[in-house]
Structure 1
Amino acid sequence: MKLVCSPDSSKLPELCGSTLPVLLYHRSEATVCASAGAAIVEELYRARLVPNQRAIDFLSLALSIVTADLAIPRAKSPDGWTRQIDLKISVADPDFWNSQIAALQAMLRFLTTDIWNISFLPDGFRLEALKKEVDYPEETSVALLSGGADSLVGVLDLVASNERPFVISQTVHGDGEKQGQFATSIGGGLRHLQLNHNAKFAGDGDRDQRARSMIFLAYGVLAATTTKSYQDGGTIPLYVCENGFISVNAPLTEARVGSLSTRTTHPIYLSRFQQMLNAAGLRVRIINPYQFKTKGEMFAECRNQGDLKRFAHVSTSCSRFRTFGLEHCGRCVPCLIRRAAFHKWGITDETHYKHADLAKVDDDHANYDDVRSAAMAFATVEKEGVDALIGATLSSEFIADSGPLREVVVRGFAELKSLFESLGIR
């Protein structure tokens, strides 16, 4: 399927069976036309923030990618999964971005396993001059704050280290309020910017969102370039805090290969993203301080145990949180890892899980796919070693030494196995 993305409706083609016009940074009045990003511009004006133009181009790219990822259903692909996506995007500097197509397509291929064909057009979005005085945040770092437990630990640790990051969120139903609660409570209150891509399109589309971290990272880059430190020529750390076990996300079974196991913070993906930032001359350095830690280790070693005990059960981990009416299912892989982390931490897990008793042998509990797959993974690791699951997922020029990553996967499986034993799951 082809998408043409532009902030100028006059540059967009008519909707037809194989082409979807996407209006960027404006709300489309035509219900048949997709749109994304209008609320972001409004929020930037409201906050009096002016990002670097190259960062705005990067955001246009991310908005286009996330819209394509959501709008094109995998079920209609020849193999029921891999999509062929033709994407044309208007940017302010098409010559530069067209020189980066090979690296960009390789990064997206790794992230989503789809086949991307991307090209860039002129007349991209430019932020109009502000009528009010521009605000240049004094913060010297940026951190993503999702509402999840890992980003919560990350911000708690940063503040405990006397760092006060500019925290950035993607506002989604069920998480927006807790994001605000975390930001206003930690360290007496942190500067917080909540954005939403508001990608809209006709039809059901696809909800797997394998490319979702593109937009989260683009928000972080955007915010980093608004800071006074960046304006003064500094390089801004962008903290993307997630435990190494879920970042590597080794397939639990041979059936969970490719993008069936998400790669939103995989070290290879983050390295490729950093390569794109460097090529674009954007002085933002992506850091995941926990790439060699399990979630349980993050909980146990957090430098602010008081606030973590206060907020951990409020955080969101479930991959089906909205599907279950803003309730943790208790049985998906992220829920299992969360429950294992509480178990290792030794603190009572006050999270309410819809499917709490995983020792119960039925299709909702011990026989559920992810629970059975995890149990099978333990047996595989014990019999054949962790490389039987990791395979070639850590073989890359971007990973100089895969040893520490392999070790965090081993410890992550050990945490899960300990949880299963405590729950009586066989």
Structure 2
Amino acid sequence: MKLLCAPETHVFDPGDGAVHVVLYGQPGDPARGSAGQAAKQDILRAKLEAAPRAWDLLSIALSVVTADFAGLRDDSPDGWTREFELEIAVADPAFWETQAFQLEATLGFLTTDRWRLRFIGGGVQPAPPREPIRPDEDSVVLLSGGLDSLIGASDLVAAGKKPLAISQTVRGDAEKQAEFARLIGGGLRHLQLNHNAQVPGTEESSQRARSFIFIAFGVLAATTLARYRSGEIVPLYICENGLIALNPPLTGARIGSLSTRTAHPEYLHRIQEILDAAGLRVSVENPYHHLTKGEMMQRCADAALLATEAARSTSCGRFQRFNYKHCGRCIPCQVRRAAFLASGIPDSTAYVYERLGKDDEEHAGFEDVRSVAMALAEIDRDGFDTWLGSALSFPHVGDVAPLKALVQRGLSELKTLHEAYGVR
């Protein structure tokens, strides 16, 4: 699939065979897509001045997330892997051409698709505000409305940090994000941004590129801080428990593999290399890459906040599909439920499928529950190392020993959950 992504001032050729995507504007034609207009307006309305290459990175991320919506996996030869050719308007095409291969490899790792990127001039670079606001926060934290980001932001405040909270607005979570920001540490400065990606025709639902746009929002916000403007490095915190971040395949067929690679150490390392090459002084960090979700809950510095708000957080991979309720049986839901058990905090979440071990027609076909059960059985039979195989064989994951121990502890939490519900 070919896409040409550029501002509305670009002269689009209707005969070039590409899907045309208007960046930071309205499509103006039902055959075109669009993305980013509201985010740009919100950033400028807040009188924030971002680094030029941070705007370029956002343009790239908006193009990628729009392509992710436009390319239907069912139409691909294997029913999953897609091929994209993107032509993207940026302000500094010569530099970004030097990063094309790294971006393509990083996106391939994230989405398991094949990407080819080419850059042209004419990208959006908003004029700086007359009187820019340069926030005095010392860092940025991504606040999704999920349990891990709630814990992460509250832990940062308890440690004496002053983070700027950035949220990617998601239907069903926007109000929750704002409420969490208000409650954490007496209130965080909070900016909610929405990519508003729209494409003509049917949209793909898998959305494997969503973390790329979230990180781009965070990077752009980090470059607006006074600390960044003074020449310092700004930490960008992506708070995700280590088990979900690593995404180890549960079975040989990868049935019910854990979530996506949104915070995988290999992915974050590659992102960091791109930021460093761009001269963007932002350090991407996941403070919880060696902790399970249960351990995050146990160690949360604000136990009172966690006790009252944890059940309100969102973990489910099918939250919208189940009318903004937790299904209770997807991998993220199982990890969440296991974490509550491990922490001893009562779980008042209303799960659509509460009884994981129930064996009847209504509860049949729990692929993710079966996948966890199969993984636990294989470990009992063949041993942990045989089951894990080469799942951690990436060049930039760091010391493998603590990661293996993390996965073992995370699976132990899941085993306790399955035993509690009599899963066979």
Q: Give TM class, smaller chain.
A: over 0.9
Q: Show the counterpart of 1:220.
A: 218
Distance 1:259 1:122 in 2: 40
Residue correspondence of structure 1 range 1-400 to structure 2 within 5 A: 1-14=1-14, 18-131=17-130, 133-256=131-254, 262-362=260-360, 364-365=362-363, 367-400=365-398
Distance 2:49 2:417 in 1: 47
Distance 1:143 1:41 in 2: 20
- Give me the identity figure in percent: 52
TM-score by length of 2: 0.97
Distance 2:47 2:41 in 1: 10
Distance 2:360 2:49 in 1: 54
Residue 283 of structure 2 aligns to a residue in which SS? strand
Distance 1:300 1:62 in 2: 35
Asked if structure 2 preserves the Cα contact closer than 8 Å seen for 1:113 and 1:259, the reply is: no
| Cα offset, 1:187, TM superposition | 1.0
Question: Which amino acid counterpart does residue 78 of structure 2 have in structure 1?
Answer: D
- Indicate how the Cα distance of structure 1 residues 237 and 15 shifts in structure 2: closer, same or farther if over 3 A, else same: farther
Distance 1:15 1:345 in 2: 59
Distance 1:267 1:257 in 2: 22
Distance 1:11 1:378 in 2: 57
Question: Which amino acid counterpart does residue 11 of structure 1 have in structure 2?
Answer: V
| Cα offset, 1:406, TM superposition | 1.4
* RMSD of aligned Cα (Å): 1.6
CA displacement, residues 179-204 of structure 1 (integer Å, 9 cap, x when unaligned): 00000111111000000000001111
| Cα offset, 1:266, TM superposition | 0.7
| Cα offset, 1:112, TM superposition | 1.1
| Cα offset, 1:113, TM superposition | 1.3
Structure 1: 5+ residue stretches without partners? none
Distance 1:270 1:112 in 2: 14
- Indicate how the Cα distance of structure 1 residues 398 and 100 shifts in structure 2: closer, same or farther if over 3 A, else same: same
Residue 10 of structure 2 aligns to a residue in which SS? helix
Asked if structure 2 preserves the Cα contact closer than 8 Å seen for 1:362 and 1:368, the reply is: no
Residue 10 of structure 1 aligns to a residue in which SS? coil
Count of matched residue positions in the alignment of Structure 1 and Structure 2 = 424
- Indicate how the Cα distance of structure 1 residues 363 and 292 shifts in structure 2: closer, same or farther if over 3 A, else same: farther
Structure 2: 5+ residue stretches without partners? none
Asked if structure 1 preserves the Cα contact closer than 8 Å seen for 2:376 and 2:415, the reply is: yes
CA displacement, residues 317-353 of structure 1 (integer Å, 9 cap, x when unaligned): 0011001101000010000000000010111100000
| Cα offset, 1:424, TM superposition | 1.5
- Indicate how the Cα distance of structure 1 residues 304 and 164 shifts in structure 2: closer, same or farther if over 3 A, else same: same
Distance 2:103 2:193 in 1: 24
| Cα offset, 1:8, TM superposition | 3.3
Distance 1:9 1:209 in 2: 28
Residue 411 of structure 1 aligns to a residue in which SS? helix
